[in-house]
Structure 1
Amino acid sequence: MPKINGNEIRPGNILEHDGGLWVAVKVAHVKPGKGGAFAQVEMKNIRDNRKLNERFRSADKVERVRLEQKDQQFLYESDGLLHFMDAETFEQVTIPADIFGDRRPFLQDGMTIVVEYYEEEALNAQLPDKVTCTVTETEPAVKGQTAANSFKPAILDNGVRIMIPPFVGEGEAVIVSTETMEYVERA
């Protein structure tokens, strides 16, 4: 694994530090009036979500980890485990469902996602940026309610509650951002 200097750490970098894997969340370069400059790095542990603030001087060496990314196709879920098939080797892999957190309902049958591996351990999974869902329950549109920023609550076919514009009705397909869990546009 490549070693980088402490002042080369950027947000999003994955570092091996204190026997664990950490992702750099925020990096601030500080030059105090007295003494040498350093990078103040806020890190989050990939495995257990602990946070850590650490100072790295430019002379400090840190292990930068590169994760292997693989395309995986979602097959089914059983007992809190998600079963995927590797797109290249057709090998089946099981991953804990909590790897997605609150974005889990957006995972659909047959969907291809990107899973990041460190050695043989799945650490992160990325859903597509936008997913098409169907509105199953919402209030009817009120005539004359055409204010630009008015939204109404809706429940999607996967059970997620979002806010949608008044012109979207039940049974319509909408595109939802998996990052912000908000309405983007009609499908």
Structure 2
Amino acid sequence: MATTSDISKGAFLRYNGELVMVTDYTHITPGKGNAIYTVKSRNVKTGKQSEIRFRSGEKIELVRVETRELQYLYQEGDSLVCMHPETFEQLPVPMVLFGESLKFLKENTIVLVKFDDNDVPVYAEPPTHVELEVTYTEPGLKGDTSTRALKPATVETGATVQVPLFVEAGERIKVNAETGEYVERVK
């Protein structure tokens, strides 16, 4: 068994019988008494965020996960079917694991999927940046800006992204899949 000193961001723990992923943690040493670890976590099954407190040196159950690169092929029901690029094995990955970044995923994108000991997907991570084509945006009006002005644009996956006024329909842009923010125009 591991102790609280082994906690790191992105680690998986079994807490109260549930598998949780550490999204952030802080180590606090009060003037009097033992140190405390405050762990922000996300329940893998439900997606619910919670905060857990551990005393320093407390025993915890770390869960080992295996990370695989898979290619997203298509959507089927409430899962995305992904293929292992070497074995061509097709695996269903629940859409819930992708979170908000799902709306920026297009077919044939390489994603990272983490599997637990039972070969069950527990976490999915799209690439940080994705290149998408702008399918619709209003024309930008020049001269009406005093600061950095943005306008809504619809990309090929159907998601809406705030882009600068100079971006037009048909252009390719780079979007941060985690935050949904415009990064740059692709040449």
TM-score of the aligned structures, taking structure 1 as reference length: 0.88
Long gaps (5+) in structure 2: none
Distance 1:82 1:132 in 2: 20
The match for 1:16 among 11, 14, 26 is: 14
Q: Cα–Cα, structure 1 residues 158 and 53, in superposed 2: closer, same or farther, change >3 Å?
A: closer
Residues 25, 128 of structure 1: CA spacing in aligned structure 2 closer, same or farther, 3 A cutoff? closer
Do the aligned partners of 2:133 and 2:171 also contact (CA within 8 Å) in 1?
Answer: yes
Aligned length: 185
Partner of 1:110: 108
> Whole-Å Cα distance in 1 between the matches of residues 172 and 159 of structure 2?
14
How far the C-alpha of 1:178 sits from its partner, in A, is: 0.3
The aligned residue for residue 81 of structure 2 is 83
For each residue in 1:102-123, what CA deviation from the matched residue of structure 2 results, as whole angstroms up to 9, or x when unmatched? 3222221211111111121111
Distance 1:151 1:176 in 2: 14
CA drift of 1:174 comes to: 0.9
Larger mean Cα displacement after TM superposition, 110-119 or 145-154: 145-154
Cross-structure match for 2:154: 155
Q: 2:14 corresponds to which letter in structure 1?
A: E
Deviations 1:145-165 (A, max 9, x none): 454411111111211111111
Task: Tell me if structure 1 keeps the 8 A contact 2:106–2:157.
Answer: no
The structure-2 alpha-carbon separation of the partners of 1:131 and 1:141, relative to structure 1 and needing over 3 Å to count, comes to: same
Given that residues 7 and 29 in structure 1 are in contact (C-alpha distance below 8 angstroms), is that contact kept between their aligned partners in structure 2? Answer: no
Change (3 A) 1:117 1:153: same
Q: Which residue of 1 aligns with 2:170?
A: 171
- Displacement of 1:168 in angstroms is 0.9
User: After superposition, what is the alpha-carbon deviation per residue over 1:21-73, rounded to whole angstroms, capped at 9, x for unaligned?
Assistant: 11223323233343322223233212112344333223311122221011111
Residue identity (%): 36
Using the TM superposition, name which of 167-176 and 35-44 deviates more: 35-44
Considering only aligned residues, what root-mean-square deviation do their CA atoms show, in Å?
Answer: 1.9
Q: Is this contact kept in 2: 1:7–1:38, CA < 8 A? A: no
Cα separation, 2, equivalents of 1:18 and 1:113: 30
Q: Equivalents in 2 of 1:80, 1:53: separation in Å?
A: 28
Ranges in structure 1 where 5+ consecutive residues have no aligned partner? none
Partners of 2:173 and 2:183 within 8 A in 1: yes
Q: Distance in 2 between matches of 1:102 and 1:135?
A: 19
Larger mean Cα displacement after TM superposition, 30-39 or 155-164: 30-39
| CA distance in structure 2 between the aligned counterparts of 1:50 and 1:140, rounded to whole angstroms | 40
